[in-house]
Structure 1
Amino acid sequence: MKKIYVPTSTMAAVMSLGIITQGVLSNFFGIHSLEKILSVINFALWSSFSFSILMTFFNKKFREIHYSNPINRFGIGTWVAGTSICTILIAKQFTEWALIAKIISYFNFCLWFFYVLICIQAFFELNSKRLSEKVHGILLLTTVSTQSLVLVMSSVYKKVPIAVDHFFIMLGLCFYLISAFIIVKRYLMKSSSWSIEKDWNNTNCILHGALSITGLACIRSQSVNEQVIIAIWVCAATIFVIVESIEIYRMYKRMKSLGLKTAIFIYDLSQWSRVFTFGMFFTFTYMIAPGLSALSAIQKIIITIGIWAVPCLLILEVCLCANHLLQFSRNYPKQYQKNSELNA
């Protein structure tokens, strides 16, 4: 098993379970024993995935698996965001481990700095290597990872200068504008050369998820006024409707051409991004203080539906993942034996 390396964006599962534990279950239900159990499970997943990633360094596989493809390189942002959510869970659920949470946060800031540097380089490579026709929502992990640090600071540290919060929030918004421009340009410039079934990526839902975590960062840091937060929510909700309408149409087209099982009930790592973004949008909606009666009514509808829909989406994804891992465990011994025979 030590030779099984997880894909770059595997930490998206940690992000998804973490936001539903802390953002959905904790805010609405408040079942502390369940929250602690899920937090331990999430930390265990983070530890195992981190170990697998660490092994790529020692076995000289890091560049091949995580770095060589400029687009895939953006997936390292899930390492930052996944570490952030684990840090927050430790700080919130296990207050006696506050020092451990701080130590992990220091490491995470260093990881984020490394990530930002390689992403800036990757943005230039997208042009030089003509990869802009293959870009998708994974680019927006630059925003998600940056804003996740604002959430960490508000949870782990007693007092953070407003200037620091403003710096990270604005930097995250800059990353959002650059990434969203590149993604939208891909689909609009050559609208006739791509099909919605094959070329629309699951990760495009991060278009609204990145805005949701930005709004949540504004709320938790208490460094932005309510009018700006409401404006961000309106933008996130609008993009949510647009993107998910496209997703529904895509699902219809896939069901028509591939059938129900292949179109919907097939596991893909990128599907965790949908669980995360839905959970983040629900959390942002729950935390916001609406200034208009119409907005308040919409907020209540989203919360009423979302409190059941988001956990159900997580359960479905866990079931698909479990089935995928079961099939993998059955096929792995055969594949290992085949490789051994070839190398003999």
Structure 2
Amino acid sequence: MLYFSLFIVFSACMVAFLFFNKIYIHTSTMAVVMALGIITQGVLLNFFGTHFFHGVFGKILTVIDLALWNSFSFSFILSFLNKKFREIHYFRPINRFGMGTWVAGTSICGILIYKQFHEWVLIARLISYFNLGLWLIYIGLCVKAFYDIYRKELSKNVHGILLLTTVSTQSIVLLISTVFKHIPIKLDILFISLGVSFYILSTFLIIRRYCTKDDSRLIETEWNNTNCILHGALSITGLASLVSHAASKQGVMVIWICAAAVFLIVEVLEVYRLVKRIKSYGLKKGIFIYDVSQWSRVFTFGMFYTFTYLNNPNYFYFALIRKMVILAGIWAILVLVLIELLLCIRHVFKIYLNHANKHQVNSASANSSL
């Protein structure tokens, strides 16, 4: 009852902030829920053990994540009721892919509820049914978006957000494999195969963009934060295969090797981009600026860490790499989360001040007219 009360209080505060400040959140903001969910359920649980995860701290983190999911969902519904949904979330074909965070965020919340609060198992199952329907709608919108990208020649603007088709699909596998114990293996294989198909298509479009666009070499401006999902989508595919037992141990190992290789390539490019941005814009504007897409990096790091932790290779060198990732990765991820949280809090505070200032200006104008 205590944690349910905390959930109500946290949700009410967040919903009130969004409502009274008339804030419609970005389509991909549910990536915050995805990131904090995998950090809680994957990174912290595996590194610090079940004693930490099932203790007070782990449950509070879960409640906060669920409250964020609830308040973000309210914002999406509010945008629909106020006839702003199409403008904010649907009008731009590439932005539609960001709705994949809604599916993946809902999946992680269902998993957290099932793992943390056994008395809420029925709720976790209801969320699973709802999320399956949401995924079907999302995939339908994405198929149309892929067609719009081809028809309107928008391929020059594609980036890692397309890979949310894979992430959302594999998150469904993780959810149903957790909440429902007896799932036909053929159904898991079908979902995983579909996710892999989306990965191949999306990766092809992303690579073609950077190989053909004239200014693609300007990495500090043309490289998108969401491109880190190139390895995150592979990691969640491997994790889904591992949890559902849809692939052999050798098959899972192949996916992990691919994910590790892509992780290395992408993050080398990220470091190069970081250096270029500091040279071009300085330390403050080059690094310490907030964008919701940065949460995708937290999610992908957490997903690769979780996949690596649960995958136990027999080969000595791979086992050594796994140990290094586990021991060093935990602190890198925690630092990354802390930085992102501070940037996010500063961003929210600025939004509040801007709305407060506008309110004061409007009040002053009304008084002067009287």
Answer yes or no: same fold by TM over 0.5: yes
TM range (shorter): over 0.9
Unaligned runs of 5+ in 1: none
Aligned residues of 2:215 and 2:222 also touching (Cα < 8 A)? no
From the superposition, tell whether residues 193 and 315 of structure 1 become closer, same or farther in structure 2 (CA, over 3 Å): closer
Q: 1:254 aligns with which of 261, 273, 277?
A: 277
Q: 1:307 aligns with which of 330, 334, 337?
A: 330
- TM-score (normalised: structure 2): 0.90
Name the amino acid aligned to 2:296: S
What residue number does 2:67 align with? 44
What residue number does 2:307 align with? 284
String of CA shifts for 1:82-140, please: whole Å, max 9, x gaps.
00000000000001100000001111000000000000000011111111111100000
CA distance in 2, matches of 1:139, 1:339: 41
SS in 2 for 1:259: helix
Residues 1:176 and 2:199 aligned together: yes
Displaced runs of 4+ in structure 1, greater than 4 A? 191-194, 336-342
CA distance in 1, matches of 2:59, 2:275: 39
What residue number does 1:22 align with? 41
Name the amino acid aligned to 1:217: A
After the TM superposition, which residues 72-221 of structure 1 pair with which residues of structure 2 at under 5 Å, given as runs? 72-190=95-213, 192-221=215-244
Name the amino acid aligned to 1:230: M
After the TM superposition, which residues 265-284 of structure 1 pair with which residues of structure 2 at under 5 Å, given as runs? 265-284=288-307
Unaligned runs of 5+ in 2: 1-17
Residues 1:35 and 2:87 aligned together: no
- Give, in angstroms, the shift of residue 154 of structure 1: 1.3
Name the amino acid aligned to 1:123: F
Residues 1:227 and 2:250 aligned together: yes
CA distance in 2, matches of 1:59, 1:208: 37
CA distance in 2, matches of 1:203, 1:339: 38
CA distance in 2, matches of 1:104, 1:21: 19
What residue number does 1:60 align with? 83
- TM-score (normalised: structure 1): 0.97
RMSD: 1.4
Number of residue pairs aligned between Structure 1 and Structure 2: 343
CA distance in 1, matches of 2:103, 2:213: 33
What residue number does 2:29 align with? 10
- Give, in angstroms, the shift of residue 34 of structure 1: 1.5
